[in-house]
Amino acid sequence: MKIALAQLNYHIGNFEYNTKKIIDHIALAKAGGADLVVFAELAVCGYPPRDFLEFEEFIALCEDAAKEIASHCKGIACIIGLPVKNEAVAGKDLYNAAYFIEEGEVKATVKKALLPNYDIFDEYRYFEPATAFECIDFKGTRIALTICEDLWNINNNPLYISNPMDVLITQNPDVMINIAASPFSYEHDDARMVVLSDNAKKYKLPLLYVNQVGAQTEIIFDGGSLAYNNEGQLLDEMPYFKEHLKTYTLANGTFEGYAPVAHAESSDIAQIHDALVLGIKDYFGKSGFSKAVLGLSGGIDSAIVCALACRALGPENVMAVLMPSKYSSDHSIRDALDLVENFGCKHEIIAIKEAADAFDSMLAHAFEGLSFNLTEENIQARSRGIVVMAMSNKFGYILLNTSNKSECAVGYGTLYGDMCGAIGVIGDVYKTQIYQLAHYINKDCEVIPENTIVKPPSAELRPGQKDSDSLPDYDTLDAILYQFIELKKSSAAIIAQGYDEAIVKRILKLVNGAEFKRYQTPPILRVSPKAFGMGRRMPIVGKYLA
């Protein structure tokens, strides 16, 4: 039997778009000789639909789309993911499910049993877990069909008390198929491959896995659909960060023409780069936008965001606004102009001295007798925020935020100033990773000026200002932040590793004290195992770890 995997980029709630894409790929798979074509988890509506699922019309539109898709399944079968109603009164109103469609009819419905409710996942908010499991018989082949998390309960610390495959294996299936919406992080592809390999080995079955690709606001899906033999050996790996359709021939318990291969290794920074480019591109394309604006300071963070935006949208669609203050150095302006020239994007130079001076004058009476401090620095940052938002309003540009994860973590940024924007491009990338990303972008030729990379980072809001005046060195800061944020270590556990106690306690206090700021920042493109946003939920007024 020939089974095609369709690794596609869906758009949440865009039923016309998703339905046409699925139907087009049914036709392509059929033309390629496939007997069955498999689409991703919740492909019909896009993942994650979140509270769209609470609208009855949304569920009805899913069913309408499924009927339209079924009408095109003649001479080929398909598997599609969608939410379906729970007809029982007790329990949640919906199941996360898959339809097996053959000759225009839904011949089987498979429901997801293991509903993730951690990090960015919130499936138990909407769905009832399945309790019954049946294989699907098609053309003499028995298929054990599961949905994403259903294969993830296979480790030394199981999260769930049941395992669908333990039931399905008793029905003597010939192949496992898993449809997924498995989000990207730079560590997740390795973990995913271990889980899938372990399933193939445990149940001694060949396995096909299809993942979606594309970004849905802050969540990015990397694709990388996979095929394994019944010994858990990787046979094939589809491309990452792009759509793809591929057909596999299942015969005699294996996929013909494939020998075991090694995982196509890619560095964390290369993956982060590709994910962020895709994240920007899809945020704009799926929102109906085309042109971006950002403040370009001459520093490394805004240089990285400008470079990524130019690669995602085309330099002709990127407006870089240079906003020197009276404290800005000539080399910062020159570095920013060099970057603009290297990428060929648009630019404007709009000095903020007059605006900042005007605010100082307005507030002179109220501030009489008080010295210059953080207040005046923030006025400059907020003046810049007004300028880039004015450009956004006047020309329809969408503002890109340029704050990195280290800054977001400790609150080193100005609300309604440099923290404003529609999407946080690098808010999940630590400063130390930012430097690696700059070198990666420059791997073929220098597009980010070398001086931008090597000079000490500074907000240039007062004479001689450096980030190091306010923060520990970034190597130390990021190492401690990683232990606290990603690994969820306490201050005592971090100090026990040899870090200075005073520095650790100061950093953790800064992180917790900045929670109110992060609640007001734009969504951040997620590339790490623990990003700020929906995957990390902390109380603003909590005392623990303060």
Provide the annotated active-site residues.
41, 112, 148
Which single residue is written with the structure tokens 């100061």? 506
| Burial class of 369 by CB neighbour count within 10 A (0 to 12, 13 to 18, 19+) | exposed
DSSP string over 198-267: HHHHHHT--EEEEE-EEEETTEEEEB--EEE-TTS-EEEEPPBSS-EEEEEEEETTEETT----------
Contact assessment for residue 542 and residue 509, using Cβ atoms and an 8 Å cutoff? no
- Show the beta-strand stretches assigned E in 103-233: 105-111, 136-138, 141-147, 175-180, 207-211, 213-216, 219-222, 226-228
Residue type, 113: A
Residue 404, marked binder: no
Residue 490, marked binder: no
In angstroms, rounded to a whole number, what is the distance separating the alpha carbons of residues 220 and 298? 28
Residue 416, marked binder: no
Measured CA to CA in angstroms, residue 409 lies from 187, 382, 414, 490 at distances of: 20, 20, 13, 16
DSSP string over 298-317: SSHHHHHHHHHHHHHH-GGG
Enumerate the β-bridge partners of residue 247: 4
Residue type, 179: I
In angstroms, rounded to a whole number, what is the distance separating the alpha carbons of residues 297 and 308? 16
Residue 296, marked binder: yes
Query: H/E element holding 295?
Result: strand 292-295
Residue 298, marked binder: yes
Residue 494, marked binder: no
Sign of CA dihedral 63, 243, 441, 329: negative
Which single residue is written with the structure tokens 């010939």? 174
In angstroms, rounded to a whole number, what is the distance separating the alpha carbons of residues 279 and 282? 5
Residue 297, marked binder: yes
In angstroms, rounded to a whole number, what is the distance separating the alpha carbons of residues 264 and 271? 12
| Burial class of 454 by CB neighbour count within 10 A (0 to 12, 13 to 18, 19+) | exposed
Residue 287, marked binder: no
Residue 301, marked binder: yes
The per-residue b/e assignment along 115-145, b for 16 or more CB within 10 angstroms, e otherwise, is: bbeebbbbbeebbbbbeebebbebeebebbb
Residue 134, marked binder: no
Residue 318 tokens read as: 């990127």
Query: Apex CA 383: angle with CA 382 and CA 388, to 5°?
Result: 95
In angstroms, rounded to a whole number, what is the distance separating the alpha carbons of residues 511 and 533? 14
In angstroms, rounded to a whole number, what is the distance separating the alpha carbons of residues 406 and 478? 7
First-to-last alpha carbon distance for the chain, in angstroms, is 59
Query: H/E element holding 482?
Result: helix 474-485
Peptide bond into 529 cis (omega under 30): no
Sequence-distant (6+) residues with CB within 8 A of 63 are: 82, 84
Binding-site residues, please?
Answer: 118, 182, 295-302, 378, 402, 407, 517
Binding-site residues for L-glutamine, please?
Answer: 118, 182
Binding-site residues for deamido-NAD(+), please?
Answer: 378, 407, 517
Binding-site residues for ATP, please?
Answer: 295-302, 402
